[in-house]
Amino acid sequence: MEKILKKNPEIVWKNIRGESVLLNAVTGKYYGLNKVECSFWEKIDGTRSLAQIAELMLEEFNVDRETLEGDLEALTKKLIENNLVLMEG
C-alpha cells in the first residue's frame, strides 16, 4: 500500500496569485511555494499518495513523468523535514 500525504494541521497557508505562503504556527517559520509547488500542496488532501498527485500534475503541467516524479520526491522530502507534511500508511 502506498503512503498517503497529509498536511500538518498546525500549518496555516494562503494562496496569493498562484503561489502559497505557509506558516508553521508552532515554530513561527514561514515557507514560500512557487506555482508548481503550490499546485502540489493544494492536491495534498489526506487521501492521495505521491503517485496519485503526480498523475494529476502530469495533466496540469507540460513535463515528462521522470522529471516531475523526481522533483516531487525532493519537494516531499523537504516538506516532511520541515514538518509541513506528514506521511501516513
Dihedral over Cα of 89, 25, 76, 41: its sign = positive
Helix (H) or strand (E) holding 88: strand 85-88
What pLDDT digit, counting tens, does each position of 14-70 carry?
998 888 999 998 899 999 999 999 999 999 999 999 999 999 999 999 999 999 999
Fold that domain 4-84 belongs to in CATH: Arc Repressor Mutant, subunit A (1.10.10)
What residues does each domain of the chain span? 4-84
C-alpha to C-alpha distance for 66 and 74, rounded to whole angstroms: 12
Inter-CA distances, 67 with 44, 71, 74, Å: 19, 6, 11
Rg (CA), the chain: 13
